[in-house]
A and B are shown apart, each in its own frame.
Chain A
Amino acid sequence: MTSPLPPSANRFGWLRDLRRIAFFMSKRLLALFVTVMIGVYLTIVIANMGGQVDELRELQIRSTISEQVRADPAFMQMPSEERSELIETQVLMEVQRRNLDQPFFVRSIDYLRQAAQLDLGRAEEMHSDTGAREVYDIIVERLPATLLLFGTANLLVFFVSVYAALYLSRRYGSRADRAVIALAPSSAAPAWFYGIFLILFFAFLAPVLPPGGMVDIPPPDSRWEYGLSVMRHMVLPVTAMFFSSIFISIYSWRTFFLIHSSEDYVEMARAKGLPASLIQGRYILRPTLSPIITSFALMLIGLWSGSIILEQVFNWPGLGSLLFQAIGYRDTPVIIGSVVVFAYLLAVTVFMLDILYAILDPRVRIEGGS
């Protein structure tokens, strides 16, 4: 029997795999970079309304400066013509300082270059809790709060639902299975909807948990008590998020596993008399790991941005409420900065996902690069 492929193709299998992975990865990296830049540029254009925000800014500068000059007792005696001149020169200086005299296109490219270097500039109105005006500081200050809350809730939902789904897929049609199907529509309501009721019940009618915020005021001194206080504050929002997505998540994973456990190779494994744990691990989970990891990564991506309404409802100092406030203040640098950070995190997540795919699935590893 002659083999259709040369035997040498296999001898350096891992080397071949590695070379293909490297090629595949660099291609993906380039594509991701271009995608992120396009996304960030679009945000810059939109957040500046294609340059129209500049006019607003100039008006704002003018009114601020004229107010300052008028209110300054040093200029009280000045004739009004001279005063107007002074105002004009000051406005011009400020406009030049902020590069507002250059065409918007030139500045937009400039913004993009800075954004690519994570130089997010200074906020116009907002500042961090420590008083910093740097957009980067403001965002970095909010990021941990969002990650803590959404990370906890989403990881909980993910792992609980995958395990529950595996369990249910072996007990198709059981009472528990039917209960989950019946409860799945509960996820039609968003997390904040459940949040409102949870606050009503557990913070006001039976005040056992705090209604919002991230930590007691004033914050406890000892680290232990601080951590405990944060955990107490997390209970309600995490419960709201968990409850709003757990049933639909179990339901969809259960259906996913049911479909995949009727594959021929799973039936073959059953006929081979392999123990159930091996079938579950090697024949159901491993071939389906790519879609599972994808959904996990999509969950992570969703996590970076937080949730605007849920954070508002629970008064949680995260990225979602930051963005909400920034939009309210029309603080363009903060809006753009949030998007830039989000885009970068998203690109990193997608890139890691690509590497994982290649490791997990030989079909991607071997065919994808050639």
Chain B
Amino acid sequence: MSPIISVSNLSKIYGSGFKALNNINLDIAKGEIFALLGPNGAGKTTLISIICGIANPTHGKISVNGHDIIKDYRAARSMIGLVPQELHTDAFESVWATVSFSRGLFGKPKNPAHIEKVLKDLSLWDKKDSKIVTLSGGMKRRVMIAKALSHEPQVLFLDEPTAGVDVELRKGMWEVVRALQASGVTIILTTHYIEEAEEMADRIGVINKGEIILIENKSTLMQKLGKKHLTLQLPSKLDAIPPDLAAYNLELSGDGRTLIYDYDTKGDRTGITSLLNDLRTAGIRISDLDTTQSSLEDIFVSLVRAP
């Protein structure tokens, strides 16, 4: 299947000489939820801005459903809804007016029924006549999502959509995102909350210093890079790790009652059997054990910190 968004050899160099993006290649499949992770200043927002027409690319090509974003900008842009990171709103407009304005701006005929549905889905219906200035931050965020959805986009960009949104509201927002995906909308999001990407995304891209360092299916990524921790509870306090066990790189907790062993699930040998044998030989008894999979956050931190 041809990708709905195709970015090839994209670079962005600002007037100051700062290279914000370096030779980005990225294909987004129709209907997926793609999460773009990266530390602050990695180039996430720059990439989104260029695809949406807010910033100019220095090199490279981007197409949206086959439409070049520069030569065929009308067709490309009319497919895209953008929810930027910052809360940019017209303070003195009503919710209804500002959402209707967005629909008109994208060249769509009036459709009050659609706007009503969007506002209801985002729990904004009872605020439709309120001026935006009177709304809370979370509501303003939803107004911006409503604006982006007003013109029935095929692709939705959410730049840090849940920043400053409380837990309850965040869950509601993700329900909306899931419903959009179910209706065939492709969603590209950036987020600081890694658990969010972990929960929502089909694929994850990691961007750092303007370069995409990894694109992977979420499950493959978790599997591929997933380290596991084996935690051993000791019934009696251990003062130091016996020298015979040095090869396992064990970690002893401060109270001397927990040993942690890191192992790689993808390795041929996890070393668990021999560790347990050697522990018995060393006379260390175990009262309990459990294993934990490293989270996407651990993976992410290890990727970004890698030299």
Co-complex (A, B): no
Contact surface of B with A, Cβ cutoff 8 Å: none
Contact surface of A with B, Cβ cutoff 8 Å: none
